[in-house]
Amino acid sequence: MNYRYRIYPDTTQQQRLIEWMEICRSAYNYGLREIKDWCDSRKCLIDRCSIEKEYIIPTDAFFPGEVQQLNNLPKAKKQFPRLSEVPSQVLQQTIKQLHRSWEYFQSRGFGFPRFKKFGQFKSLLFPQFKENPVTDLHIKLPKIGAIPINLHRPIPNGFVVKQVRILRKSDRWYASVNIQCNVNIPDPMPKGHPVGVDIGLEKFLATSDGVLVKPPKFFRSLQSKLKLLQRRLSRKQRKSKNYEKQRIKVARLHHQIDNTRKDFHFKQAHALCDTGDMVFMEDLDYRISAKGMLGKHMLDAGFGQFRTIVKYVCWKRGKFFGEVDARGTSQECPECGNEVKKDLSVRVHNCSYCGYTTDRDVAAGQNIRNRGIKLISTVGQTGMETACADDLPGIGKTQSRQVSKSRLGKTRKPKK
């Protein structure tokens, strides 16, 4: 689990951390340059000349892999003494980070890692600790000493601090503490009351039980505030003092929007877990991109994050989480399965085959739930019978839901 705490480094500590980030950034960019050069030099056949550019890298030179670049660090330190200012493990993590993104690019086929510009490197990862660095008042980091920390919630007993990531958000500093505990938790089994969730722009979410949540108002008001601040920023002279002041204001507001959104997402996720034992959501990509066209910047970052948060909350509370193929959920009747065509302006689902009428988004949620139930029953998990018999579309709340819920609460140990 990751717990995030706010930390309060003093000015010299801040300066040092920023400097470290800069050094790590240059190491990152250097490593990326090596990779890029190598790739460019392999673009044309060995016995030809490239038309555009020529890279003189011997043909038998190996790809600058992770291990090689890591091994080159000590040599590089002799050449650039600045590198040794940073704790060596932190520097190694930077190279590892580069290769993670490289591998991710390889597996996905797009998204070549980019050079990081000034200020784009915003976190440092301390991967190992000999002893617990966190006390009630301070967090102890190598080469920098104790930084005051606001331990707003204690680290639970039996947990060991594995890694610490120092983050810089606008002008604030945070420590994201990764804690681990040696307990095996079985994956939650699908059972109990199923809930299908449809997310959208007009309604933030709609569940198969008919719960509709509107997108909260503060988004809109914060967005307009952001617009105002950004407009002011654009009128300032670049790199002037006033520009800098205004820039920090904008960054803070972005940070505030992030935080409020996250808070809202967590509350919604917990509310979902309160109402059901299994949560089903649509899978990523397909519909999100379509919806994104409608109101792009409002929530686009939010969809993916919300799914991740729901997943996490489900895992923490021992509820089953499943993703289903979302294609055509809004065009199908959850009662009889017939296709009911409707465009975006039609807000009510009205089936011409069986006469079932409900809100459009609720219908989508119910479809997602139905597909989720089908999904787990085809996988052949135990407990599928109860899941199916529990609540079929259109039937009101059943008793079994309450029963299964209370039993769940007693048997399950809280989280990892």
Query: Whose Cβ is closer to Zn ion: residue 137's or residue 336's?
Result: 336
Query: What is the nearest approach in angstroms of Zn ion to the Cβ of residue 220?
Result: 36
* Residue span binding Zn ion (CB under 5 A) among the ranges 42-50, 195-203, 291-299, 329-337: 329-337
Query: What is the nearest approach in angstroms of Zn ion to the Cβ of residue 333?
Result: 3
Nearest to 310 by CA among 327, 300, 323, 298: 323
Cα 146 to chain centroid distance, Å, stands at 29
Mark residues 75-104: x for contact with Zn ion by CB under 5 A, - for none.
------------------------------
Contact 354, 339 (CB under 8 A): no
Which of 195, 314, 333, 384 is close enough to bind Zn ion by CB under 5 A? 333
Radius of gyration of the chain, Cα coordinates, nearest whole angstrom = 26
**CB within 8 A of 225, min separation 6: which ones?**
253
Indicate the burial class of 51 (C-beta count within 10 angstroms; 0-12, 13-18, 19 or more).
exposed
Query: Whose Cβ is closer to Zn ion: residue 14's or residue 331's?
Result: 331
Contact 256, 222 (CB under 8 A): yes
Copy the structure tokens of residue 330. Answer: 């809004």
Cα dihedral 91/95/101/105 (nearest 10):
170
Hey, which residues between 125 and 154 contact Zn ion (CB under 5 A)? none
Query: What is the nearest approach in angstroms of Zn ion to the Cβ of residue 295?
Result: 30
Contact 193, 277 (CB under 8 A): yes
Contact 150, 6 (CB under 8 A): yes
- The count of other CB atoms within 10 Å of the CB of residue 5 is 18
Query: What is the nearest approach in angstroms of Zn ion to the Cβ of residue 353?
Result: 5
Query: What is the nearest approach in angstroms of Zn ion to the Cβ of residue 341?
Result: 13
Query: Whose Cβ is closer to Zn ion: residue 84's or residue 350's?
Result: 350
- Report the alpha-carbon distance of residue 198 to residue 188 in Å, rounded: 22
Q: Should residue 332 be labelled a site residue for Zn ion when binding is judged by CB under 5 A?
A: no
- Report the alpha-carbon distance of residue 209 to residue 397 in Å, rounded: 9
Query: Whose Cβ is closer to Zn ion: residue 80's or residue 353's?
Result: 353
Which of 198, 277, 282, 335 is close enough to bind Zn ion by CB under 5 A? 335
Mark residues 338-377: x for contact with Zn ion by CB under 5 A, - for none.
-------------x-xx-x---------------------
Instruction: Give the amino acid at 148.
Output: P
Query: Whose Cβ is closer to Zn ion: residue 94's or residue 367's?
Result: 367
Query: Whose Cβ is closer to Zn ion: residue 10's or residue 339's?
Result: 339
Query: Whose Cβ is closer to Zn ion: residue 331's or residue 398's?
Result: 331
Query: Whose Cβ is closer to Zn ion: residue 123's or residue 331's?
Result: 331
Nearest to 22 by CA among 121, 91, 156: 121
* Residue span binding Zn ion (CB under 5 A) among the ranges 4-12, 77-85, 212-220, 327-335: 327-335
Q: Should residue 336 be labelled a site residue for Zn ion when binding is judged by CB under 5 A?
A: yes
Question: Where along the sequence are the contacts to Zn ion (CB under 5 A)?
Answer: 333, 335-336, 351, 353-354, 356
